[in-house]
Amino acid sequence: MSRLADRPGRGLAVICASAVSTQFGAAVGSLAFSGLTPVGVVAVRQVVASTVLLALTRPRFWRFTRSQWSPVLLLALFFAGMNTALYAALERVGLGTAVTIEFLGPLAVAVLASRRLRDGVCAATALIGVVLLTRPGPTSDLLGLGFAVLAAGCWAGYILTNRVVGQRLDGVQGVAMGTAISALGLLPIAAVLVWHLQPPLEAFLFAAVAGVLASVVPYSLDLIVLRHISPVIFGLGMSLHPLFAALIGAVFLGQLLPWLAWVGILLVVLSNALTLGGPARPRTAPRPAA
């Protein structure tokens, strides 16, 4: 791992690989929407992610105190809300648009915590980028955009709650339990959907692959490199998620965007890179695993 610290380019490459895996997993998961709906896909994703995380971390949940359980349960709520809202947005407005708006969540947390003029300018630039991307008008899918904003809010809540979890529990026990609880909460809804829709087997396979690519692989990569690269490199890599999402959406899903939307995405990416990867920025938690 010292090689990553000595060669920041390699660390950035790993973070970019994590971002590509995340967004490609989301694209694969969207192929199961017609059979499972976004809620069903998220439920399968959560089950896959929680199974792997529980096996790796083996949290001693029976020893958790009330003060430890409360933020874990809140984390589970944000997990379920964030992923369900993101996938609902993905279905209506496309991968690139949904992920770009979702990234306003961590940007808002960073800006509010910093209160620096530069970060305020970055926030304003990001909002201009979102306007260029979405081009609000009578034909806009307001529900889809609303789901994306909800996902951003849930991600902001995850970041703030995860700080509390990290203070009260060692390692990633809280994340593992939060993922498992969110999966349990979504399973009854998924069961009803499966009963009524009777989806084909490939829908479950797509959702399971999405769980591996969009949850297990990126979270593992982020944990490996997080302690061995600078916050600047990690923040830069994280900021590229919207760009990768738009590219994968265009190539893999045929979700082509006009040039003005690409300008908007680049403005959001630039704003996130300058804010999340600033020299005074503390290390950032990995993107939620589920």
pLDDT band with cut points at 50, 70 and 90 for residue 241? very high
Q: pLDDT of 121-154, one tens digit each? A: 888 899 899 989 988 766 679 999 999 999 999 9
On average, the pLDDT of the chain sits at 86
Are 152 and 108 contacting, i.e. CB atoms less than 8 angstroms apart?
yes
Tokens of 98: 């949904």
- Compute the CA torsion angle 119, 124, 130, 132 (nearest 10 deg): -130
Cβ contacts of residue 248 below 8 Å, gap of 6+? 20, 23, 24, 27, 95
Q: Is the predicted pLDDT of residue 167 greater than 90, yes or no?
A: no
pLDDT band with cut points at 50, 70 and 90 for residue 13? confident
Are 109 and 123 contacting, i.e. CB atoms less than 8 angstroms apart?
no
Are 27 and 68 contacting, i.e. CB atoms less than 8 angstroms apart?
no
pLDDT at 210: 93
Which of 67, 36, 78, 8 has the alpha carbon at shortest distance from 290?
78
pLDDT band with cut points at 50, 70 and 90 for residue 231? low
Which of 220, 215, 266 has the alpha carbon at shortest distance from 244?
266
pLDDT above 90 covers what percent of the chain?
49
Scan for tokens 């990416």, then name that residue.
269
DSSP 214: I
pLDDT at 287: 63
Q: Is the predicted pLDDT of residue 10 greater than 60, yes or no?
A: yes
